[in-house]
Structure formats: C-alpha cells, structure tokens
C-alpha cells in the first residue's frame, strides 16, 4: 500500500527556491567558464556587424522610399530586427551550456518579474499589439484619445506619438506644433475616434441665416453651387477612398454630394450646408465656401443676412405708437 506524501506550502517554496539557486549557479558557471572572453569578443563583433548592416539598410530605405508612412514603417522593422538578432546571438553564445529547462526557468522568472514590477509596460505592449492588429490607428491617422487630438507620427512599443492639433493653442483643427506622447495602454480602455487613412474625409456643416424677406430659395441654390465646385475637385479621391472602406469594413456608400437643409429659426431662415471635406483641410474648405457665399450674396439684392434684432415701441397718451427717438 503506497502512501502519498503531501507537501506543505513552505516545503514547496523551499523546493522551488533550491531549484532557482541551482539554475542561477549553472548560469554563472556558463558565463564565467573558459572561453567567456572569446565569446564576449565575438558578441561585440556581431553587434558591430548588425549595427552597420542596419544603418546601411536604413540609408537605402531613406534613399529609395518616397512615401513617408511606408519609409517610417520599414525603418521600425529594421530596428526591431536588429534587436531581435542581437538578443538571439547572445542566447546562442552564452546559453549553449545550459539545459533547455534552465532557459525556460530563467525566462519564466523574468516574465513574472516584469509582469509584477512593470504592469504598465506590459499593458502598453499589449496596446501596441492591439494597435498593429487592426486598422484605423496607423501612421497618418488623425485620432482623438484621452482628450488629445492629433496626427499619428510614430507608433512605438510603449507609446504612440501625436502631432497635436486644435485646442488650446489654435481654434480650428490645425497643427499646434507640439508633440504629444500617449501610452499604448490607453487604447485598450479609452474611446478612440479616428479618421481612416484609406479615406481621410469627414462631413462638416456650415450654417447661413437669411431674413424672412429674402429669396431663400435662391440663397439655397447659391450654397449648393458653391459647395459643388469644391465637391468636383475631390470626387476621384472620394470614390477610391470609399471603395477601400467598403472592402475593409461593414460600410455602405451613400450619397456623398453636398446638400442644403432648410429650417425656420427665430431670426430668419436657417440654411445648413452639409459637405465632405479632407480632414486636414477643414479650415481652408470653410474659408473657400464662406468667401464664395459672401461674394455671391453681394450680387443678389434680394438676399440679406439675418441677425437677432430688437424693436422698441413707445405708446403715446392716446395709445398710439410713436417713432423711436433719434440715435
């Protein structure tokens, strides 16, 4: 009859500690063994060779790749490849005398220590994997995350770098010139709003208020004509971009032409122009449309802009309205 021996938690901890001590002793023996200096010299030579090769490849990329986003991505791939190759060479040189179980134990200890001590770093690495596994956040995308709006200019292992646009330095969505870094971990637990690089177009609305006495139908026609001039300029890029969106997302192309909505407001007739514009040209598009509307309205005597007005009446002794006093 066999008797099963049950270890107490203290005994298990002592056994694991002794195993770790044995692994560390074998690692130290491998590092300080005969030939360690020769291996170190070989490792330095490998490092120099890999560094020179990576610099040569990066120069070739800079010289032959014109697209900024593609060039940046290839440079990052070369950098990651350099470090992976260097770490692999170090393992091959210095761990040849270690058993596979010892290597697994060391890697397990390192992983446990990193998970506990560098929890934020681990989450950022997970965020980096998440960013690169889906479309929508990539070099060139305009995103809003954690109350920051900017254009993505770099996606690193731990952080994403943005070129800030908008508030608080400028009123419109234009570059402020400041660089903002965002931990990749925020992409896992924050809402992210992005403009897809395959189709960087957004809808915008411009409101114009005309008086009730104006020819609002003519005013509406002018808004449509001004917007159509800009629309015809972006039609080729617009169709190609939306076709890419339909292939990659559950997206259906609807009407993309400018449209004007009419609404009765307190002080007049509100005309709202809704049109598509490149996300980085919203301010210039608004400027062109506004200037065109002002020029066209100036040629139409039947159209006047409306604004809030107040009329005051003074009653006379017999209840008759008197003209207002002179200014």
- Domains of the chain in sequence order: 9-129 (no CATH), 136-195 (2.30.30.60), 201-298 (3.30.70.100)
Is the pLDDT at 80 greater than 90? The verdict is no
Report d(CA 274, CA 204) in Å as an integer: 6
pLDDT at position 266: 86
Mean pLDDT computed over 50-57: 86
Name the residue with higher pLDDT: 179 or 327. 179
Task: Please give the share of the chain, as a percent, with pLDDT higher than 70.
Answer: 69
Long-range Cβ contact pairs of 228-232 (< 8 A, separation 24 or more): 228/257, 228/258, 229/292, 230/275, 230/277, 230/285, 230/288, 230/289, 231/256, 231/257, 231/258, 231/275, 231/276
Mean pLDDT computed over 25-48: 68
pLDDT at position 45: 86
The residue assigned the tokens 């971009």 is 241
Is the pLDDT at 317 greater than 60? The verdict is no
Is the pLDDT at 171 greater than 80? The verdict is no
pLDDT at position 34: 47
Question: Tell me: the pLDDT tens digits for 121-162?
Answer: 778 888 888 888 766 688 878 888 878 888 888 888 888 889
Mean pLDDT computed over 168-177: 78
Name the residue with higher pLDDT: 14 or 210. 210
Q: Confidence band (pLDDT; 50, 70, 90) for 49? A: confident
User: Which among 183, 222, 202, 195 has a CA at the least distance from the CA of 283?
Assistant: 202
The overall average pLDDT reported for the chain is 77
Question: Tell me: the pLDDT tens digits for 209-242?
Answer: 999 999 999 999 999 999 999 888 888 777 777 7
Residues paired with 149 in a beta bridge: 144
Is the pLDDT at 97 greater than 80? The verdict is no
C-alpha dist (Å) from residue 74 to 66, 70, 88: 12, 6, 21
pLDDT at position 281: 84
pLDDT at position 121: 72
pLDDT at position 206: 93
pLDDT at position 93: 72
Name the residue with higher pLDDT: 28 or 161. 161
- Of 1-5, 55-59, 119-123, 277-281, give the lowest mean pLDDT range: 1-5
Non-local CB neighbours of 219 within 8 Å, separated by 6+ positions: 208, 210, 269, 271, 297, 300, 303
Report d(CA 46, CA 89) in Å as an integer: 8
pLDDT at position 99: 52
Mean pLDDT computed over 69-83: 77
């Amino acid at each position: 009859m066999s008797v099963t021996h049950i270890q107490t938690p203290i005994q298990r901890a002592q056994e694991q500690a002794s195993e770790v001590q044995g692994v560390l002793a074998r690692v130290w023996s491998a590092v300080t063994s005969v030939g360690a200096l020769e291996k170190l010299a070989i490792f330095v030579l490998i490092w120099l060779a890999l560094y020179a090769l990576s610099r040569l490849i990066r120069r070739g990329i800079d010289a032959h790749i014109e697209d900024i986003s593609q060039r940046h991505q290839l440079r990052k791939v070369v950098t990651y490849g350099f470090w992976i190759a260097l770490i692999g060479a170090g393992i091959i040189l210095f761990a040849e005398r270690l058993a596979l179980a010892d290597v697994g134990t060391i890697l397990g200890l390192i992983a446990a220590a990193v998970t506990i001590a560098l929890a934020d770093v681990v989450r950022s690495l997970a965020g980096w994997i998440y960013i690169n596994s889906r479309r929508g956040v990539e070099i060139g995308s305009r995103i809003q995350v954690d109350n920051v709006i900017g254009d993505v200019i770099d996606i690193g292992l731990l952080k994403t770098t943005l070129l800030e646009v908008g508030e608080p330095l400028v009123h419109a969505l234009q570059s402020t010139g400041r660089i903002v870094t965002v931990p990749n971990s925020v992409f896992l637990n924050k809402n992210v709003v992005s403009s897809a690089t395959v189709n960087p177009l957004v809808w915008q609305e411009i409101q114009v208020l005309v008086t009730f006495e104006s020819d609002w139908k003519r005013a509406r026609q002018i808004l449509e004509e001004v917007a159509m001039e800009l629309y015809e300029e972006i039609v080729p890029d617009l169709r190609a971009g939306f076709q890419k969106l339909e292939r990659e997302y559950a997206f259906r192309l609807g009407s993309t032409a400018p449209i004007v909505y009419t609404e009765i407001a307190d002080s007049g007739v509100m005309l709202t122009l809704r049109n598509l514009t490149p996300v980085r040209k919203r301010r210039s598009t608004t400027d062109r449309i506004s200037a065109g509307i002002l020029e066209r309205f100036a040629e139409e005597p039947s159209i006047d802009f409306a604004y809030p007005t107040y009329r005051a009446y003074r009653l006379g002794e017999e209840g008759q309205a008197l003209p207002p006093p002179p200014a």
